[in-house]
């Protein structure tokens, strides 16, 4: 369950570890510092643009044949627009554009596109509930994403009769850190709360704990959705919360409320 916004966001002296990829991690760190928190950034997921291939070029040249185009993240949206600009001086008309989350919608809207997104929620499940994606039999859908990840959107739309083409635009990987870097963050800094806003980031955090011998399972974990919270619980984390949205201010407010004991909605397995 998403947690309510805090009345204030005073985090003076609190220690927050942010495991998001850049540049989102540093931006969120600035928001936490503005609320008085001490922060460290340790991205546990990084992204690298994939080179163009004959297959991806063919997909982009056929852009006008698609009825629906979905971007799953802000990075996917930026990469897609970069690739489109290479081949389409003017975007084809008649395409319905979709975004998973408000951040992704802002990227597309900044390019002058009219974007469809869920009125509430920022998950694939919320996107798939949109009326215009319920009746898609025989229609062509382009899915801009990374080279791996959840298959829910593709599988669900295909089950509804759509012809879905996945366009991988980047790869995700876990950066390598030295033992000294890990020691400084996990031992010396000793975070009270850890921000891990994807299932893959959480998996990499769990692997890091196992590899380095650190036990962070009693720290407050900030996750993006209930399904990721359940993965955290299964791994042994005892405290977690889901922000009311993934906007920086809402993440900061939720952490402040939870650490201050004002957020009764924070999850635990006790």
Fold for the domain defined by 15-45+175-268? Rossmann fold (3.40.50)
- Asked if pLDDT for residue 253 goes beyond 90, the answer is yes
| CATH of span 53-172 | 3.40.50.10090
Domain segments of the chain as ranges: 15-45+175-268, 53-172
Topology alike, domains 15-45+175-268 and 53-172: yes
The per-residue pLDDT for 266 is 53
pLDDT tens-place string over residues 162-175: 999 999 999 999 99
Task: Examine residue 211 and say whether the peptide bond preceding it is cis (omega within 30 degrees of 0).
Answer: no
The per-residue pLDDT for 264 is 52
pLDDT tens-place string over residues 16-67: 999 999 999 999 999 999 999 999 999 999 999 999 999 999 999 999 999 9
pLDDT tens-place string over residues 122-156: 788 889 999 999 999 999 999 999 988 788 999 99
The per-residue pLDDT for 10 is 86
Asked if 67 contacts 160 with a C-beta cutoff of 8 angstroms, the reply is no
Instruction: Please report, to the nearest 10 degrees, the dihedral formed by the alpha carbons of residues 243, 244, 250, 252 taken in order.
Output: -20
State if pTM tops 0.85: no
């Amino acid at each position: 369950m998403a947690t309510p916004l805090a009345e204030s966001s005073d985090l003076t002296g609190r220690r927050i570890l942010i495991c998001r990829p850049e540049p989102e991690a540093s931006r969120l760190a600035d928001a936490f510092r503005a609320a008085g928190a001490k922060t460290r950034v340790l991205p546990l997921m990084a992204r690298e643009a994939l080179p163009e291939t004959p297959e991806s070029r063919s997909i982009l040249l056929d852009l006008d044949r698609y009825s629906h185009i979905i971007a799953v993240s802000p990075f996917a949206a930026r990469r897609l627009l970069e690739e489109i600009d290479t081949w389409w001086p003017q975007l084809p008309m008649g395409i319905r554009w979709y975004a998973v989350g408000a951040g992704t919608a802002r990227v597309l809207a900044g390019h002058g596109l009219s974007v469809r997104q869920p009125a509430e929620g920022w998950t694939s499940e919320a996107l798939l509930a949109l009326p215009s994606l319920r009746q898609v039999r025989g229609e062509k859908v382009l899915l801009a994403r990374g080279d791996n990840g959840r298959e829910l959107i593709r599988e669900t739309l295909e089950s509804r009769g759509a012809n879905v083409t996945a366009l991988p635009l980047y790869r995700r990987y876990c950066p390598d850190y030295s033992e000294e870097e890990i020691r400084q963050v996990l031992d010396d800094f000793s975070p009270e709360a850890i921000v891990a806003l994807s299932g893959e980031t959480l998996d990499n955090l769990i692997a890091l704990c196992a590899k380095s011998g650190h036990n962070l399972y009693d720290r407050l974990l900030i996750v993006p959705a209930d399904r990721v919270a359940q993965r955290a619980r299964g791994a042994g984390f005892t405290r977690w919360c889901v922000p009311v949205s993934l906007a920086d201010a809402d993440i900061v407010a939720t952490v402040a409320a939870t650490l201050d004991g004002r957020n009764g909605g924070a999850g635990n397995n006790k």
